[in-house]
Amino acid sequence: MAKNLIIVESPAKAKTMVKYLGKDFSALASYGHVRDLIPKKGAVDTENGFDMKYELIEKNKKHVDAIEKAMKKADALYLATDPDREGEAISWHLYEILKERGVLDDKPVHRVEFFEITKRAIQEAIKDPRELSSNLIDAQQARRALDYLVGFNLSPLLWKKVRRGLSAGRVQSPALRMIVEREEEIEKFEPREYWTIEADVEAKEKPFRAKLTHFEGKKLDQFDIGNDRRANEVETTLREKAAGRLLVTTVDKKQRKRNPSPPFTTSTLQQEAARKLGFRAYRAMRVAQQLYEGIDIDGETVGLITYMRTDSVNLSVDGVRDIRELIEQRYGVENLPDEPQTYKNKSKNAQEAHEAIRPTSAMRAPEDVKKLLKLEQFKLYDLIWKRTIGCQMIHATLDTVVIDLQAGEGNIFRATGSQVVKPGFMTVYQEGRDDGAPEEEKEGLLPPVEQGDHVNLIKVHGDQHFTEPPPRYTEASLVKSLEAYGIGRPSTYASIISTLTLREYVTLDKRSFQPTDVGRVVNKFLSEHFEHYVDYEFTAKLEDDLDAISRGEKKWKPLLKEFWEDFKKQLDAKKDVERPGVEMMEEKCPKCESVLAKRLGRNGYFIGCTGYPECSYTRNVDDEPGTSSEPQVVEGRSCPKCESDLVIKLGRYGKFIGCSNYPNCKHMEPLEQPKDMGVVCPECKQGNMLSRKSRWGKVFYSCARYPDCKYAVWNQPVEGTCPTCGHGMLTIKTTKRRGTEKVCPVKECKFTEPYDEGELDEQAAVN
């Protein structure tokens, strides 16, 4: 039997430990957390010094028993769970269980940390163990206790006041508040008209464009030209003053630098994976975990990236040396700065103990391991590798030219142009942008002109614009905002977002969050009655306090005591508040003359009689006064299963046809029948593609032969064969950045071409 027992969290890691550490070590997995608070009142005993009552997680009982059995035969225990607070807590829980079961005796217990799963890193960690950190354990216990106290006490209140199955959370609730407040901001927004004036000009047979910046000696603000009448006046004046030519008054040539982005932290990885790959936060973290735990290369499991839960933008000396060597070999010494690039963390509450996320070996290029990886693993590894290499390359150098052109005294147009003269890091990587972020000007080269030259004026034209509301939060921008406020930890963002969607507080529409009626009501209730606990600054300060505990600067139980005393007073004071989500109306019930009220139901808002249950009148919010939401019978049809009447019903995903004999008969079908798109399915080549709606109301397109053929796409199909890969159908895709394009639906194929939206109408007319 091996002398030493090492515990990790996953079985894949356990196998790797045995390979790297040899016959003196045996390895077992804890399969994540082994203990948690008992799921009932009193798990955190607020009357007795905040003692915490734990119990073994049932599904992991057999794994703990196996660890106990192996420990009886081992001489020493090495706890090698993940190198963060959660990992420290898992190690501590295991230690406590084994101590209670009497299998440790005086055997040495070591805590080991490694940030990459490579032979060198693991063997070095074993040589330099430490003791369990009481500060990290206390910080994690405090976090768990706070989450329990908030969730276990606020959630029942929500069940009572709003509806069953809801939850409130210490970090989840401020995140919901962000989404609701942004939606309210969008709803209140009133667009404002403004115009810009541009000149199409030509010099030395090269056309270019310039924008009006000064008119009649005054610098123009955004709303100075506010309607078409004023725009026409300005255009007329400029044409008269210019008389077909503009005078070059200044030519300003400069060189500017663009610096690379820092290496990935947990937060920036989630943001960029959302922007560039379309990954949800939880998917990015799941795939990153797989890359961290490693893949089989030549019979040996090798971790491809360093630990993926980190706030740090620092890189190890060895890592930087490896990256610089790769840059010199692959991109040339001219792309290597004299000194390594260093970065400062802009995030609140950043913990710099770990490295940034990087490849464990820069020499392991994405194309070298592509055949060993799943597609999503390759995409994320490619993103991490390029970002890491780019962060240590030289800055990009751009030549910029600004030309001022005069159309009569006091009227100035400005043209700007730029050219990348030395791409540097841009050869490898450029950071993505969030929706709603300002577009970079697409500037090309300007013709060589000198001060005093005249250029030909081809046309002066005005362009109408309207101000736009702030964009809805995407996963990327929500994670960015949470981090900016210092709310939560980056490792928890994925679970926060998942909870908001699972509880149906928000929906995702075109990758943007929209609050549901339930989400709005919950947020309103918490904001009105527990304002302190959805306050951004309060939540961020609590994170600061937890970080202080992890550093040994604060004690955890006094923090819990201070929090609980104030929170308990709030809870006691709010037990009898009115139920939220009820708005009294001036309208009377058509059945009993009682007052009607707008209420929140299982499927959103509805209008119902306040005389309920004596009066059962209800109707949909959008229905005309006096109408009833009693199910409408479908004329001329009966249920194909039981021959009862079919009726039109309203569910959480909209209207549908169902059997009137429900729940005895559960037949249902869509209200709208699928529409034939007139395009043959490229997979089975037998059925046509139909337009359907998912249960969430989202349109998709699938083969008419379903379920025999399960081919489906999200984008509208059109006839045509892909000229790149030969796929038998193309689709129409519209995005803010690229407009409407014809694209190949095959993921691996990159074919795109511009598409005239008028062609859609022509196709619809034919079909």
d(CA 542, CA 538): 6
Contact 267, 484 (CB under 8 A): no
Which residue is listed with tokens 């609701």? 180
d(CA 525, CA 533): 12
Please return the burial class of 330, using the count of CB atoms within 10 Å of its CB with bins 0-12, 13-18 and 19+: middle
What type of residue is 242? A
**3 state DSSP class of 349:** coil
What type of residue is 546? L
Q: Which two tokens stand for residue 581?
A: 């989500």
d(CA 745, CA 751): 9
Burial 614-645 (b: 16+ CB within 10 A, else e): eeebbbbeeeeeeeebebeebeeeebeeeeee
d(CA 702, CA 711): 6
Q: Which two tokens stand for residue 55?
A: 């119990």
d(CA 723, CA 558): 68
* Phi then psi dihedrals of residue 435, to 5 deg: -60, 140
Q: Which two tokens stand for residue 478?
A: 């929500």
Asked, as a colleague might, if the bond just before 340 is cis with ω within 30 of 0, I would say no
Bridge partners, residue 740, by sequence:
734
Give the DSSP per-residue string, 484-524: HHT-S-GGGHHHHHHHHHHTTSEEEETTEEEE-HHHHHHHH
Quick one: CA torsion of 689, 695, 698, 703, rounded to 10 degrees?
-10
What type of residue is 54? Y
Contact 708, 737 (CB under 8 A): no
Q: Could you tell me the end-to-end alpha-carbon distance of the chain, in angstroms, rounded to an integer?
A: 74
Identify the sign of the CA torsion 228, 233, 239, 242. negative
d(CA 248, CA 449): 8
d(CA 745, CA 724): 12
Residue 222: how many CA atoms within 13 Å on its side-chain side?
5
Bridge partners, residue 650, by sequence:
655
Contact 127, 4 (CB under 8 A): no
Planar angle of CA 440, 443, 444, nearest 5 degrees: 150
Catalytic residue among 95, 148, 292, 307, which?
A: 307
Secondary structure letter of residue 719 according to DSSP = S
Identify the sign of the CA torsion 79, 80, 85, 89. negative
Asked, as a colleague might, if the bond just before 640 is cis with ω within 30 of 0, I would say no
Residue 307: active-site member: yes
**3 state DSSP class of 298:** coil
| Cα 613 to the center of its chain, rounded Å | 44
Give the DSSP per-residue string, 104-173: -TT--EEE---SS-SHHHHHHHHHS-B---HHHHHHHHHHHHHHHHHHHHHHHHHHHHT-TT----TTHH
Quick one: CA torsion of 129, 132, 135, 137, rounded to 10 degrees?
130
Q: Which two tokens stand for residue 355?
A: 């490295």
Most distant pair of Cα atoms in the chain: their distance: 98
Which residue is listed with tokens 């009066």? 615
Contact 636, 646 (CB under 8 A): no
Residues labelled catalytic: 307
